[in-house]
Structure 1
Amino acid sequence: MSRVDDVRAWLRERGAESIAHAGGSLYEHLNRVHDRLAAHGLSEDEQLAGLTHAAYGTDGFAVVLLEVTARRELRALVGAPAEALVYRYGGCDRDRTWRALPETQTVWSRFTGHAESPTPAQVRAFADLSIVNELDVFERSAEIAAKAGPYFRSVFPTWAPLASPSVMDDCRRVLTIG
């Protein structure tokens, strides 16, 4: 079995196939995010983070597959770099982080209440995962697209200097941004 197969088995064991999410189940969403990151040629660590990005829940999705106190388990499954991205992504306080990210390159944690200043490569991975995740949700839920589309269109273009060019091209195409 490959590492991705191991992660998929872990997600099924945690019930991700039976958790509702835009466009089907959480399991389906996680796989689509993984596949989209892969299609952009992003690293295996980023792809594995995409496959597990909701493990600790997120600021926009409260379901938890693994308590944040059990980070060691996810780290053993996906590796330290991927788990660190999952922790950063899942813990991100979006209200405090997203609009200011291009200026501050700071991610505020809803887990700790503290801010961190990731490296430029870590900021890029965070931005790429955030955008790809939201594009998948946007494409699969007319309700979310109508509600969050204007916000995404106002925030994500400002992330262009931070995100991968192919992710930004995809973002512009999906959100129909000029």
Structure 2
Amino acid sequence: MDTATRAAVTLLRQRGAAELPHPGGTLLAHLERVYETLRSWQVPDPVALAGLTHAAYGTDGFPEPLLAVTERPVLRAAIGEDAERIVYAYGGCDRGTVYPRLSEQDPVFHDRFTGLDHRLTAGDLRAFADITAANEIDVVTHNPDVMREAGDALWRLFNRMRDHLGEPAWQACVTTFAPQPDPPH
């Protein structure tokens, strides 16, 4: 485990991620699985570190922040500027506004923390998409109810995001979410 990964896990533990319930155990266990998935997809180091800490500020779907947004320098010191910028974009994403736009080449992101709109760089948009895929795949893998209730909507989301996903992330989405043909009678 490299220094930044070790620092990130230490910070997550200090902030209670190992005690917060999450599908598949604890939030820390989920974050570590997302990190391992991203690593297996061979994403750049900052993206994997952002995946490990993607819920640090809470998310639109998991409103349990481990750090206040005012503590961005704390996370930045642990994982680096590039990874923290991705974590902020992920946590700040207003999903109801942004997700429908993800079929666009350069979608506008609405920041739920500031209320402002902005655009991500192509690299940060790819990171956002890959982390979203790794996150949702882990959630549905550990909570079949979410798959039953939201699997079709997630398949539609990842189809909209197709151009922003790395190929390993896309293939994992197909494997996890694509509708299966009915077996022959």
TM-score by length of 2: 0.92
1:107 partner SS: strand
Q: In 2, are the aligned partners of 1:49 and 1:83 still within 8 Å (CA)?
A: yes
Equivalence for 1:134: 136
Deviation (angstroms), 1:177: 4.5
Structure 1 unaligned residues grouped into runs of 5+: none
Match of 2:80 in 1: 79
Residue 159 (structure 1) aligned with residue 161 (structure 2): yes
Q: Which residue of 1 aligns with 2:116?
A: 114
RMSD over aligned Cα atoms: 1.2
Alignment of 1:17-56 (within 5 A): 17-56=18-57
Aligned to 1:65: 66
Aligned residue-pair number: 178
1:158–1:42 Cα change, 3 Å: same
Conserved in 1, the CA contact under 8 Å of 2:34 and 2:134? yes
The CA deviation string for residues 37-74 of structure 1, in whole angstroms up to 9 with x for no partner, is: 00000011001001100000000001110000110110
Query: How far 1:176 moved relative to its partner?
Result: 2.9
Q: Secondary structure at the match of 2:100?
A: coil
Structure 1 residue 2, shift from structure 2 partner: 2.4
Counterpart secondary structure, 1:59: coil
Q: Which residue of 148, 153, 157 corresponds with 2:150?
A: 148
Counterpart-to-counterpart distance in 1, 2:129 and 2:10: 27
Query: Which amino acid is 2:27 matched to?
Result: L
For residue 122 of structure 1, report the CA deviation from its aligned partner.
1.3
Q: In structure 2, how many angstroms separate the alpha carbons of the residues matched to 1:59 and 1:148?
A: 16
TM-score (norm. length: structure 1): 0.96
Gaps of 5+ in 2: 181-185
Q: Distance in 1 between matches of 2:179 and 2:171?
A: 9
Structure 1 ranges of 4+ moved more than 3 A: none
